[in-house]
Amino acid sequence: MKTGENNKNLSLKDRLFTIVFENDTHAGRSFDIALLWLILLSILVVCLESLPNLNQDYRTILSGAEWVITLLFTIEYIIRIWVVRNKLRYLKSFFGVTDLLAILPTYLSIFIAGSQFALIFRVFRLLRIFRILKLGRYVGESYSLINALKASRYKIIVFLQAVLVVVVIVGTMMYLIEGETSGFDSIPASIYWAIVTLTTVGFGDITPVTPLGRIVASMLMLLGYGIIAVPTGIVSAELAKNRNIKASTRTCPNCRLVIQDEGDNYCKNCGLQLEKKENNKV
Amino acid sequence: MKTGENNKNLSLKDRLFTIVFENDTHAGRSFDIALLWLILLSILVVCLESLPNLNQDYRTILSGAEWVITLLFTIEYIIRIWVVRNKLRYLKSFFGVTDLLAILPTYLSIFIAGSQFALIFRVFRLLRIFRILKLGRYVGESYSLINALKASRYKIIVFLQAVLVVVVIVGTMMYLIEGETSGFDSIPASIYWAIVTLTTVGFGDITPVTPLGRIVASMLMLLGYGIIAVPTGIVSAELAKNRNIKASTRTCPNCRLVIQDEGDNYCKNCGLQLEKKENNKV
Amino acid sequence: MKTGENNKNLSLKDRLFTIVFENDTHAGRSFDIALLWLILLSILVVCLESLPNLNQDYRTILSGAEWVITLLFTIEYIIRIWVVRNKLRYLKSFFGVTDLLAILPTYLSIFIAGSQFALIFRVFRLLRIFRILKLGRYVGESYSLINALKASRYKIIVFLQAVLVVVVIVGTMMYLIEGETSGFDSIPASIYWAIVTLTTVGFGDITPVTPLGRIVASMLMLLGYGIIAVPTGIVSAELAKNRNIKASTRTCPNCRLVIQDEGDNYCKNCGLQLEKKENNKV
Amino acid sequence: MKTGENNKNLSLKDRLFTIVFENDTHAGRSFDIALLWLILLSILVVCLESLPNLNQDYRTILSGAEWVITLLFTIEYIIRIWVVRNKLRYLKSFFGVTDLLAILPTYLSIFIAGSQFALIFRVFRLLRIFRILKLGRYVGESYSLINALKASRYKIIVFLQAVLVVVVIVGTMMYLIEGETSGFDSIPASIYWAIVTLTTVGFGDITPVTPLGRIVASMLMLLGYGIIAVPTGIVSAELAKNRNIKASTRTCPNCRLVIQDEGDNYCKNCGLQLEKKENNKV
């Protein structure tokens, strides 16, 4: 039996699975790209709905667009549940929960006013973009980024602890030095100011006016300017030793585990016999 | 036949080509440097013209200067079209379009008031500076910079996607937390604030005032302060493995392709037989 | 004699020492974690007490919480003095002084109003967190961070000197250029502005308005944007050559020196014979 | 003849030369440290004199202090001219000019009011600190920093050109988009804003208010946040391959050239026979 014939003999359910869950066929990729644009459109609609001086006519159009998008997402959600073999695993997975969160707020907005802003969580669906990019070079790149960040996490936690100790101490000092007249009206507000300053954001809503306050602020700024080197150095050092990881585009149709070795015949997780695929033209 | 004699036998057209398109002769370099100063002067004129409280006398002088510069650029543009063999290729090239954009707005300003500000696109002509620097060490350096950025592009796109997902979610959260009183009057405005904050710019035109808003803002700032490490790390890691690339100063007089190997006798692109050059003293 | 029996034969004092000063037993770790939460709680209490519009009822509750925490810290302090063999060394050590500073302000607040804000120095006790993390991978990571910073210190001092020379000169220039109308009302204020600008914090409380002032400010900003590369490069280069250092979890019960080699039988510092420990499961 | 005896036979002029120009003797180091403190004190005096609400009594004291410091600096300047063999070379050197600039403004202030603020150029004298640090590890470190910056200069110039092209184009765009109402009242002001934004300083004195202006600003901020990676990456990559350079503490008494090889017997520059020195205890 040739691998080509294999694909032709697939049932509707199997073909839908290939389209909505995988993207190494032409149809699968087209579906993912269409979905991505729909997600971006839905985010744009929610953003526009929040504008304060919006014309009532536009508001009606946006509301209509939202219901259309929600219905499309609902159909997609139902198909996903239907075609996946291990339904519970999908429902509890990150993408399963995200897919539900993307449609629920619109239905809830019938009962609770304002809940449609929760639709912005549709942005999480954008993470599906990484699936579309799977065929290309993006996955290997994002794996090496994530690995560098993972390898750096203990160093970064240690660094953040040091930063927190500094902002609490400097925040309290500034509260005692500056007092309420210049906006340092409580220790939490002063700690907030210290974070704004140390991270070199510098809003300017709270600023020191006393000479001593300015000296302490100057030292905090120089510290913040200097120690930005630390997380940067950590990540640079990790990335300098990164290795590009080859990413697979296959997932097990039963448990949705990513099949890492293209030559695997059985799913490592659930033992399902896997269909052989043609080589991807990367 | 010696290479020196070759150069003497060039026609006016060929000699002009060497002056305006290449820069490994003394005349070519002088022309490029004069052109650079003229471009800088023209940008200065446009900037000064925009000053609101400008005296009418100065305005007349600036307007005159603009017309003189435009005429000089027009003459240069005509010479370029005349001397290049493959005229269409030049007209459609980046520098061809830029050269046209540099003169068009002045002529248009006779018919449409205000269009002379489009002259600022003359700044793109500044990119010719890289041609002037070709003889020196700049080209190799900029090639290694561009290569490092090119090699990093997939990582940087992945990073920017993550940043966009973060600012959309945090922006919506802040819109719901802070509300209109503190300037977060729509989701787009809040996303704009989130970008201002994450990138550590911190204008301060919109700032959180509620305790919860300040906590979310603090976390966003620490995130922005920490993840600046990611693009930096990516580029550092790439630059650490850079190799200096030797840059050629020859271009094919027919198709304007850069001749990469000094020893080449025929253009790789159009097959034109190339003149032999003396060794550049780099 | 087996090492297991050794632990059973310990006196109450020895067992308390293991709990409060070490953390490679279950009890020791639990104690440290409980202590950490208590420290965090006490900082939260001090922060809340500083809020300006606080209800009198809440103020009473917070005051009560502070006294309870202070009593617990006092008991812990007394136990620490009791169980440690070389008491004077502990009292004069960083953690000894911190432990005293954590309880003193509450008692002093009976006599001197406002002194309870000094309680914020309890935040230094948070540094004990590094002890809790000793068992895991954190210590090695923080050692490699600290080593990288230590190795960079001369370079960073040279860099800071250059920064200070720049801000003093630019500050004076801006004082002379801008004058009092735009907030540059003295050289110290202008130097403060130069630090705010060079470090890219940019509060906006003092901003240049004259053309020349803005040109100087632009150059200072570009300088600040460019030379942030210097500390970052220094630390990156150091971290790139870091070695993970294995951290020990044992301290000498007599002089509290950290025992670096797990196989040591005698304290390198005071010669005390050390108990053999079971291998930690890291 | 032993090297020890050599030192004893030096004339007053030679001994003064060793004290004021070199610092590998005890007297030389003490002189340099005293000088450093005097420079810092003189800067402090100038800073304090600029305070707007200063009491007349304090002003008299500060004025007196300034004259005392100027007299001390004048004596030092005269000694330096007397003891150096090649006087013209010293007078024209960076430190020679600085030493003159440090005393001239006080004398000029008798004739021209306000000229004493030029005294702030005394801060350049602080660069003598690097001489004091010569004995230690600082020189090697600062050489490796300076070398890394030198090696990066072509890359950094290319980068700055790209930055300038970006800020000119974005500045003009913002001028056309935002107009005068939101502070973008001329192209130079808009370019200034673009630099403030790209460098992530973000004063907030000029901020976009139109939707399109905010979109362009967001892209500029993300660009600025992303490309800070470039100078950082350049310097990191250079510093990663740095070699520590051993610094010499000897200068030729005739031409003041630094003697790089401790074993040299004659000055490479002027051929003067050099005294042998004892080994420095580094």
> Is the pLDDT at C237 greater than 50, yes or no?
yes
ipTM summary value: 0.76
User: CA gyration radius for chain B?
Assistant: 26
C51-65, C253-267, D133-147, range with the lowest pLDDT: C253-267
B124, B210: one domain: no
Say if D239 is an interface residue toward chain C (CB within 8 Å).
yes
* Residue from the list A157, A165, A197 with its beta carbon closest to the beta carbon of C201: A197
D179 touches chain A (CB under 8 A): no
**pLDDT range class, residue B11, cuts 50, 70, 90:** confident
pLDDT computed for residue B46 by the predictor? 83
pLDDT band at A167 (very low <50, low <70, confident <90, very high): very high
Residue-wise over C153-175: b if at least 16 C-beta within 10 A, else e? ebbbebbebbbbbbbbbbbbbbb
Tell whether D65 and D127 lie within a shared domain. yes
Q: Which of D200, D203, D232 sits opposite A232 (nearest CB)?
A: D232
pLDDT band at A252 (very low <50, low <70, confident <90, very high): low
Same-domain check for residues D128 and D165:
no
Residue D50 near residue C187 (C-beta atoms within 8 A)? yes
| Cβ atoms < 10 Å from Cβ of C76 | 17
Among D236, D238, D241, the residue to mutate for chain A (most A Cβ within 10 A) = D236
Q: Which run of H or of E encompasses D152? A: none
Q: What is the C-alpha end-to-end distance of chain B, expressed in Å? A: 25
Determine which of B165, B239, B245 to mutate to test the interface with D (most D C-beta atoms within 10 Å): B239
**C191 chain-D contacts, CB cut-off 8 A:** 47
Query: What pLDDT does A3 receive?
Result: 45
Per residue in B86-118, pLDDT (tens digit) is 888 888 888 888 888 888 888 888 887 766 667
The H helix count followed by the E strand count for chain D is 13, 2
Query: What domain range includes position A86?
Result: 2-140
**Closest alpha carbon within chain D to C216:** D192
Indicate yes or no: CB of C120 within 8 angstroms of CB of A169: yes
Q: For residues B47 and B170, state if they share a domain.
A: no
pLDDT at D19 over 70: yes
Q: Is B225 within 8 Å of chain D by CB? A: no
10 Å Cβ neighbour count for B240?
20
CA distance C276 to C266: 10
To test the contact with chain D by mutation, choose from A48, A221, A236 the residue with the greatest count of D C-beta atoms within 10 A, namely: A236
pLDDT, tens only, C163-210: 888 898 899 889 888 887 888 988 899 999 999 999 999 999 999 999
Domain presence at residue C266: no
* Cβ–Cβ gap D123/C214 under 8 Å: no
- Among B200, B204, B236, beta carbon nearest to C236: B236
Which 3-state string (H, E, C) describes chain A? CCHHHHHHCCCHHHHHHHHHHCCCCHHHHHHHHHHHHHHHHHHHHHHHHCCCCCCHHHHHHHHHHHHHHHHHHHHHHHHHHHHCCCHHHHHHCHHHHHHHHCCHHHHHCCCCCCHHHHHHHHHHHHHHHHHHHHHCCHHHHHHHHHHHHHHHHHHHHHHHHHHHHHHHHHHHHHHHHHCHHHCCCCHHHHHHHHHHHHCCCCCCCCCCCCHHHHHHHHHHHHHHHHHCHHHHHHHHHHHHCCCCCCCCCEECCCCCCEECCCCCCECCCCCCECCCCCCCCC
More confident site: A56 or D270: A56
Distance, in Å, from the CA atom of D124 to the CA atom of D107, rounded to the nearest integer, reads 19
Asked whether residue A262 is domain-assigned, the answer is no
The secondary element (H helix, E strand) that includes residue D205 is none
Largest CA distance in chain D: 84
For chain B, the average pLDDT equals 77
Residue B93: which H helix or E strand, with range?
A: none
Residue ranges of E strands in C147-256: 250-251
Cβ–Cβ contacts within 10 Å for residue A52, how many?
8
- H or E element: which one contains D127? none
Is residue A270 assigned to a domain? no
- Residue C1 is predicted with a pLDDT of 39
Q: What is the mean pLDDT of residues C44-69?
A: 86
Most confident option among A52-56, A126-130, A242-246, D8-12: A52-56
Distance, CA of D170 to CA of D222 (rounded, Å)? 13
Contact status of C242 with chain A (Cβ, < 8 Å)? yes
In chain D, which residues have their Cβ closer than 8 Å to the Cβ of C159? 145
Angle at A243 between CA A123 and CA B162, to 5 degrees: 15
- Selected for mutation to probe chain C from B48, B218, B232 (highest C CB count within 10 Å) is B232
> In this complex, do D207 and B202 lie within 8 Å of one another by their Cβ atoms?
no
**Residues of A with Cβ-Cβ distance to D203 under 8 angstroms:** 204
Confidence band of B199 (pLDDT split at 50, 70, 90): very high
Helix (H, G, I), strand (E, B) or coil at D281: coil
What's the rounded mean pLDDT across residues B194-220? 93
What is the pLDDT at residue D198? Answer: 94
Give chain B positions within 8 Å (CB) of A204.
202, 204
Which residue in D203, D228, D242 has the most chain C C-beta atoms within 10 A of its own C-beta, making it the best mutation to test that interface?
A: D203
Q: Decide if D208 contacts D182 (C-beta within 8 A).
A: yes
Distance CA B114, CA B20 (A): 31
**Considering Cα of C21, then C24, then C30, then C33, what sign does the dihedral take?**
positive
Q: What total of structural domains would you count in chain C? A: 2
Nearest-angstrom CA–CA distance, A205 and A183? 8
Confidence of residue C213 (pLDDT cuts 50, 70, 90): very high
The CATH number that applies at residue B192 is 1.10.287.70
Compute the radius of gyration of chain C from its Cα atoms. 26
pLDDT given at position D114: 67
Q: Which two tokens stand for residue B48?
A: 């000064």
Using an 8 Å CB-CB cutoff, list chain A residues near B207.
203, 205
Query: Which has more confidence, A153 or D219?
Result: D219
The pTM is what?
0.79
Domain boundary among C118, C140, C162: C140
Q: How far apart are CA B86 and CA D58, in angstroms?
A: 78
- Number of C-beta neighbours around residue C269 at 10 A: 13
Structure tokens at C57: 């009822």
CA dist., res. D154 & res. D143, Å (int): 18
Contact partners, residue D215, CB within 8 Å, separation at least 6: none
Buried b (16+ CB within 10 A) or exposed e, A22-50: bbbeeebbebbeebbebbeebbebbbbbb
Does B167 lie in the same domain as B52?
A: no
List Cβ neighbours of D187 (8 Å cut-off, separation of 6 or more): B46, B47, B50, B117, B120, D171, D172, D175
Q: Dump pLDDT digits (tens) for D187-210.
A: 899 999 999 999 999 999 999 999
CB A182 within 8 A of CB A209: yes
Residue B227 lies in a domain: yes
pLDDT band at residue B258 using 50, 70 and 90 as cut-offs: low
State the pLDDT at residue B4: 45
Q: Which residue of C has its CA nearest to A223?
A: C199
Out of D92, D108, D140, a domain closes at D140
**pLDDT at residue D247 is higher than 60:** no
pLDDT at C142: 67
Contacts of B130 in chain D (CB under 8 A): 158
pLDDT of residue C262: 47
Provide the pLDDT for residue A138: 57
For residue B195, what pLDDT is reported? 95
Does the structure show a pLDDT above 60 at C114?
A: yes
CB C52 to CB A232 under 8 A?
no
The pLDDT assigned to D136 comes to: 46
* Separation of alpha carbons B258 and B264, rounded Å: 11
Q: What is the mean pLDDT of residues C6-22?
A: 73
CB contact under 8 A, B137 and D157: no
- Kindly state whether residues B165 and B94 are assigned to the same domain: no
Other Cβ atoms within 10 Å of C214 Cβ, number? 21
Contact C218 D195 (CB under 8 A): yes
State the pLDDT at residue A2: 43
Q: Do A145 and B154 touch (CB under 8 A)?
A: no
Instruction: Say yes or no: B155 and B81 in one domain.
Output: no
With CB atoms and an 8 Å threshold, state whether B203 touches C200: no
| Top-confidence range, B7-21, B75-89, B227-241, C264-278 | B75-89
In a domain, A275, yes or no: no
Highest average pLDDT, of C107-111, C121-125, D210-214, comes from D210-214
* Integer Cα distance of A70 and B16 in angstroms: 65
Of chain A, the percentage scoring pLDDT greater than 70 comes to: 73
Q: How confident is the model at residue C246 (pLDDT cuts 50, 70, 90)?
A: very low
Distance CA C91, CA C98 (A): 9
For residue C254, pLDDT beyond 70: no
The pLDDT score that the predictor gives to residue C17 is 83
Instruction: Residue C234: list chain D partners with CB under 8 A.
Output: 145, 239
Chain B residue with minimum CA distance to C51:
B211
Nearest alpha carbon to residue D214 among D199, D193, D185, D228: D193
State residue B135's pLDDT score.
Answer: 44
Residue C225 with chain D: CB contacts under 8 Å? 198-201, 224, 228, 231
Residue B3 has pLDDT above 60, yes or no: no
pLDDT digits (tens, 9 = 90+) for D135-152: 445 556 667 777 877 887
Same domain? A231 vs A173: yes
Poorest-pLDDT segment among B88-102, C41-55, D7-21, D150-164: D7-21
C228 at interface of D, judged by CB pairs closer than 8 A: yes
Nearest in space to C231 (alpha carbons), one of D46, A34, B232, D260? B232
> Measured between CB atoms, which of D154, D180, D197 is closest to B141?
D154
Domain assignment present for residue C280? The answer is no
- Lowest mean pLDDT segment, chosen from A9-18, C91-100, D37-46, D261-270: D261-270
- The whole-angstrom separation of Cα D164 and Cα C154 is 33
pLDDT at residue C74 greater than cutoff 70? yes
The pair phi, psi for residue D136, each rounded to 5°, is: -85, -150
Check residue C194 and give its pLDDT.
Answer: 95
In a domain, D207, yes or no: yes
Chain C residues with CB under 8 Å of D156 CB are 226
Nearest CA in chain B to D228: B232
Q: Chain-centre distance of CA A7, in angstroms?
A: 33
Which residue of chain B has the CA closest to A194?
B218
Question: What is d(CA C186, CA C188) in angstroms, rounded to the nearest whole number?
Answer: 6
Residue of D nearest to A211 (CA): D51
Mean pLDDT of all residues belonging to chain D: 77
Q: Which residues of C6-41 are buried (b: 16+ CB within 10 A; e: fewer)?
A: eeeeeeeeebbbbbbbbbbeeebbebbeebbebbee
Q: Which of B123, B141, B199 sits opposite D169 (nearest CB)?
A: B123
Work out the pLDDT band at B18, boundaries 50, 70, 90. confident
Mean pLDDT for the stretch of residues C8-34:
78
For residue C229, the SS3 value is helix
C203–A202: do the CB atoms touch at under 8 Å?
A: yes
The H-assigned helical ranges of chain B are 3-8, 12-21, 26-49, 56-83, 87-92, 94-101, 104-108, 129-132, 138-178, 187-198, 211-227, 229-240
Contact partners for chain C, using 3 or more CB pairs closer than 8 A, are A, B, D
**Residue B120 sits in the same domain as residue B173:** no
Mean predicted confidence (pLDDT) in D18-22: 79
Domain presence at residue D247: no
Tell me which residues of chain B, numbers 204 to 223, contact chain C at a CB-CB cutoff of 8 Å: 204
Phi, psi of D275 (to 5 degrees): -70, 145
Instruction: Report CB contact under 8 Å: C203, B203.
Output: no
- Give pLDDT, residue D279: 41
D50 — contact with chain A (CB < 8 Å)? Answer: no
Residues C125 and C160 in one domain: no
**C-alpha to C-alpha distances, B209 to B176, B184, B213, C186, nearest whole angstrom:** 13, 11, 7, 31
- Stretch D198-227: mean pLDDT, rounded? 91
Closest-approach residue (CA) in chain B for D221: B199
Tell me the chain D residues in contact with residue C179 when contact means C-beta distances shorter than 8 Å.
none
Tokens describing residue A252 = 């097990």
Q: Which of A96-110, B229-243, C99-113, C235-249 has the lowest mean pLDDT?
A: C235-249
pLDDT of residue D17: 83
Give Cβ neighbours of residue B129 (< 8 Å, ≥ 6 apart): B36, D161
Bridge-based pairing of strands D250-251 and C258-259 is: unpaired
Q: What is the CATH number of the domain that holds B115?
A: 1.20.120.350
Look at residue A26 and tell me whether its pLDDT is greater than 90: no
Confidence class for position B153, pLDDT limits 50, 70, 90: confident
Q: What is the pLDDT of residue B31?
A: 86
Are residue C86 and residue C181 in the same domain, yes or no?
no
Give residue C9's pLDDT. 58
The pLDDT of residue D201 is: 92
Do the beta carbons of residue C239 and residue A239 sit within 8 Å? no
A202–chain D Cβ distance below 8 A for any pair: yes
Residues 6 or more apart from B203 whose CB is under 8 A from it? A203, B196, C204, D202, D203, D204, D207
CB atoms within 10 A of CB D241: 10
Provide the shortest C-alpha distance from residue A273 to chain B (in Å).
33
Arithmetic mean of pLDDT, A99-123:
77
Q: What is the pLDDT of residue D255?
A: 55
Query: Is residue D211 pLDDT above 80, yes or no?
Result: yes
D260 at A interface, C-beta within 8 A: no
**Do D177 and D122 sit in the same domain of this protein?**
no
Q: Among A120, A140, A160, which residue terminates a domain?
A: A140
Q: Above pLDDT 90, what percent of chain C?
A: 16
Cβ atoms of A125 and A96 closer than 8 Å = no
Residue B251, pLDDT score: 58
Work out the percent of chain B whose per-residue pLDDT is above 70.
73
Q: In a 10 Å sphere around its CB, with 0-12 CB exposed, 13-18 middle and 19+ buried, how is residue B223 labelled?
A: middle
A120 touching chain B per CB within 8 A: yes
